[in-house]
A = this chain, B = another copy of it.
Amino acid sequence: MEEVSFLNGKTRLYGIVGDPIEQVRSPEMVTHELHSRQINAVLLPIHVAADAFERVMPHILSIRNLDGLIFTIPFKSRALHLAKHTGPQAIAVGAINALARRADGTWAGEIFDGLGCVEGFRRRGLSFANARVMLIGLGGAGSAICAAVAGQKPHTLRMFDLDDARCRRMAEMVRQISPTTDIQIGKPDVRGMDILLNASPVGMLGDPRLPIDVSHLPPGLIVFDAIVKPEQTPLLALAEKSGSKVVRGREMMRGQIAKIVDYFIEQIRAPDR
């Protein structure tokens, strides 16, 4: 009988929950990652209306062959309360983007935006340990990147965000995660820095601006941009022109997907801890 090969009654379900949903890229990428590990599972787009989230989610979690969810805009903070167990990144940031079923039926949550950035660097042989890091933007992705980079014990972490209160909160978070790091709050500045991270939306979707006011960058600098679309942002173009090493948003995305699938697999094997 004519049939597809990637779905059957035993297929385990994962989903990405967002509102809107059509723009997400996890279904094709995470499903590929699951299949490359020989797991009979798919990750679906699940469109839950923003005003129905708290009401609907407990029932979606009761679907017995659902093993995990990813959360995207606008649900990362609101999903936190769905997790009975929360990882250190989730606690620091106050949000999750992955929720995984454990063998005992409880749910564990963690946020992987920042860990994906660290993993993207690691795959390129680059490390934040003892490095001098300038981070621009402390919103959803930025605060997660801040927490994950702090976990790598950088020498210096200089932070900038238009919201001062947010800067101070993040500085306090970094102090708790990595007491030895030199924490600075202030305007974007790459003098004396090893790594520049952009987690602000400046340069996204045709925005021609740079997140930092310079005409060239030091050639030894490593420059990362969390922006996925476009792949080549104005910042990365300048970095390449200046001879800097470049790490792209999609490397963070790839790193994050691998880490999330690791987490899904690891949690389903964790009955009670």
List residues of chain A with CB under 8 Å of any chain B CB: 1-11, 13, 19, 21-25, 27-29, 31-33, 35-36, 42-49, 52, 55-56, 59-60, 62-65, 250, 253-254
Tell me which residues across on chain B come within 8 A of A25, comparing CB atoms: 3, 8-9
Residue of B nearest to A35 (CB): B4
Residue of B nearest to A31 (CB): B4
A/B interface sample: 14 pairs, CB < 8 A:
A1-B254, A2-B33, A3-B31, A3-B32, A4-B28, A8-B45, A9-B21, A9-B23, A11-B27, A42-B42, A44-B44, A48-B64, A49-B64, A56-B63
| Closest Cβ–Cβ distance, residue A89 to chain B (whole Å) | 24
- Are B35 and A63 in touch, CB under 8 angstroms? no
Tell me which residues across on chain B come within 8 A of A35, comparing CB atoms: 4
Tell me which residues across on chain B come within 8 A of A250, comparing CB atoms: 1
Give me the 3 closest cross-chain CB pairs, A-B, nearest first: A3-B28, A59-B59, A47-B64
Q: How many copies does the complex hold?
A: 2
- Are A27 and B45 in touch, CB under 8 angstroms? no
- Are B63 and A48 in touch, CB under 8 angstroms? yes
| Closest Cβ–Cβ distance, residue A157 to chain B (whole Å) | 29
Q: Which of A10, A19, A43 has the most CB of B within 10 A?
A: A10
Tell me which residues across on chain B come within 8 A of A10, comparing CB atoms: 22, 45
Tell me which residues across on chain B come within 8 A of A62, comparing CB atoms: 48-49, 52, 56
Residue of B nearest to A33 (CB): B2
Contact A59-B65, Cβ < 8 Å, known A3-B28, A44-B44: no
| Closest Cβ–Cβ distance, residue A202 to chain B (whole Å) | 24
- Are B63 and A2 in touch, CB under 8 angstroms? no
> How far, in angstroms, from A64 to B51 measured CA to CA in the complex?
12
| Closest Cβ–Cβ distance, residue A244 to chain B (whole Å) | 23
> How far, in angstroms, from A10 to B24 measured CA to CA in the complex?
8
| Closest Cβ–Cβ distance, residue A58 to chain B (whole Å) | 8
Neighbour of A3 across the interface among B21, B29, B52, CB < 8 A: B29
Contact A27-B7, Cβ < 8 Å, known A13-B44, A65-B46: yes
Tell me which residues across on chain B come within 8 A of A47, comparing CB atoms: 63-65
Tell me which residues across on chain B come within 8 A of A8, comparing CB atoms: 25, 27-28, 45
Residue of B nearest to A253 (CB): B1
Residue of B nearest to A52 (CB): B62
Tell me which residues across on chain B come within 8 A of A63, comparing CB atoms: 46-48, 56, 60
> How far, in angstroms, from A60 to B62 measured CA to CA in the complex?
10
